Amino acid sequence: MRTGRDMARNLAEAGELIRAAAADGAVFVSTPEMTNILEPDRPRLRSLARREPEDMSVAGFAALSRELGIWLNIGSLALKGEGEKLLNRSLLFRPDGSIAARYDKIHLFDVDLPTGESLRESHAYQGGDCAVLAETPFGRLGLTICYDMRFPHLYHALAQAGADIFTVPSAFTVPTGQAHWHVLLQARAIETGSFVIAAAQGGRHESGRETYGHSLIVAPWGDVLAEGGTEPGVLMADLDPGAVAEARRRIPALMHARRYEVENLNPASSIATSQP
């Protein structure tokens, strides 16, 4: 997608793409991060954001998943939280329109880029504190969002809990996308023997921001099954559930993961316990 600053227009454009995917036979559709709005003006964003029960995008996508009879992952929405900050929330809708899972982005992107662009996601958003796994007829989905992909322990934990497929909806910057997008997503697939579905924002948005695009669907062995460009559109792939078991049989890394301690030889420092 190339989400803009008008929520109603974004909902309509996303709906057209979701309908096109369903018409081509998709039983599961995933959209990018910030499907409902990409708004750099934080005061305006806060004024437009609504709580989940009041958000027109949530109601619209629930109705659409029910009408089309599909599983629908809205990669993320900007929603109003309980306090002053917003939520970057991924929603998974069942074919009856009910919500099967909610995931609030855990890792928030705060960075100063070489281009001079400064992004401070934590200034506007409240980070989540719970990883989410959802059961579907085609496998267990581990829900993640964008910057999460740089934290492999999250994917290991979800895979060890049973995830077969990861969703990684994103709005990646161009410089980091050119350097890291493909390798990080392929690494997450290979390390866990899982499918990775990464729907992405792409191109120059009306706010002036430019996102990398290149939506990817990656197989458990690291093969890229489908790749998009920077123009809005639909990317399709057939997923073979047996590929997960085969990849994990060939490289049973999840079974071999162990807890361990790091011995810090600096006497002034303490010994830290690592995460698997």
HSE value, Cβ hemisphere, 13 Å, CA-based, for 199: 30
Please spell the DSSP secondary structure of 183-251, one letter per residue: HHHHHHHHHHT-EEEE-B-EEE-TTS-EEE---EEE-TTS-EEEE--SS---------THHHHHHHHHS
Residues classed as catalytic: 33, 105, 146
* Residues 67-103: tens digit of each pLDDT: 999 999 999 999 999 888 999 999 999 999 999 999 9
pLDDT class of 113 with cuts at 50, 70, 90: low
Q: Where are the domains of the chain?
A: 7-273
Q: What is the pLDDT of residue 115?
A: 67
Task: Return the CATH number of the domain spanning residue range 7-273.
Answer: 3.60.110.10
What mean pLDDT do residues 44-56 have? 95
